[in-house]
Amino acid sequence: MSAEVKPKPADRSPGQWFDVRGRRVGLWAYVVMRLSAAGLVLYLFLHLGILSQLAQGPAAWDGFVAIAKSPVILVLDVVLIVGMLAHGLNGLRLTLIGLGIGIPRHKTMLWVFLALTVLLSALSALAIFAETK
């Protein structure tokens, strides 16, 4: 007599996407791509919510400007720029290698685009906070 042995199914929870233990830089880029995409979608709804205040007429304008200039929103603006640059530039890298351009240098491209993200984000943050002084 033989008994059937049922294997334990593989863990297929989406949380596995974010398990970076033992992974290399490519998975970090993969995780950043997903988090920045979710963040950008959330920001879009937040943005539309705040903009909808203007539908109340000119009287709502001052309140809108006050919210837009609040430190929390300014910090969120910087986070938005970081997210846009990280997602956009990595997306450009993925498009290029997907078209067969620069495949052997995909890691170098990642580091260059990461450096660009940091540099442009820092410049943007300086510009945003300098303007509010």
Partner 1 sequence: MKLNLKIYRYKPGSEPHYDTFAVEVPEEANVLDAIERAWDDHDRTIMFRHACHHASCGSCGLRVNDVEKLPCVTPVSDYGDGATLKIDPMRNFPVITDLAVDATPIYQRMQLIGMPIIRQAETIRSDGQMILPDGIERFGRFENCLECGLCLSACPVMTTDPHFLGPMTLAAAERVLQEPRGADTERIYQLIDDEHGLWRCHSSFECTEACPYEVDPGAAIMRLKRKVFVHKVKKLFGMA
Name which position in 1, 24, 57, 71 contacts partner 1 (CB under 8 A): 24
Taking the complex as a whole, the smallest distance from the CB of residue 81 to partner 1 amounts, in Å, to: 24
Nearest to 85 by CA among 8, 24, 32: 32
Q: Could you say whether residue 97 binds partner 1 (CB under 8 A)?
A: yes
Q: Could you say whether residue 1 binds partner 1 (CB under 8 A)?
A: no
- Token pair, residue 69, equals 């200039």
Q: Could you say whether residue 133 binds partner 1 (CB under 8 A)?
A: no
- Among the listed ranges 22-30, 45-53, 56-64, 80-88, the one in contact with partner 1 (CB under 8 A) is 22-30
- Token pair, residue 49, equals 């919510």
Name which position in 48, 55, 99, 130 contacts partner 1 (CB under 8 A): 99
With H, G, I as helix, E, B as strand and everything else as coil, classify residue 1. Answer: coil
Residue type, 131: E
Burial group, residue 15, by CB count within 10 angstroms (0-12, 13-18, 19+): exposed
With H, G, I as helix, E, B as strand and everything else as coil, classify residue 69. Answer: coil
Nearest-angstrom CA–CA distance, 73 and 91: 26
Q: Could you say whether residue 71 binds partner 1 (CB under 8 A)?
A: no
Residues lying near partner 1 in the complex (CB under 8 A) are found at 5-14, 16-17, 21-24, 26-27, 29-30, 33, 94, 97-100, 103-104, 106-107
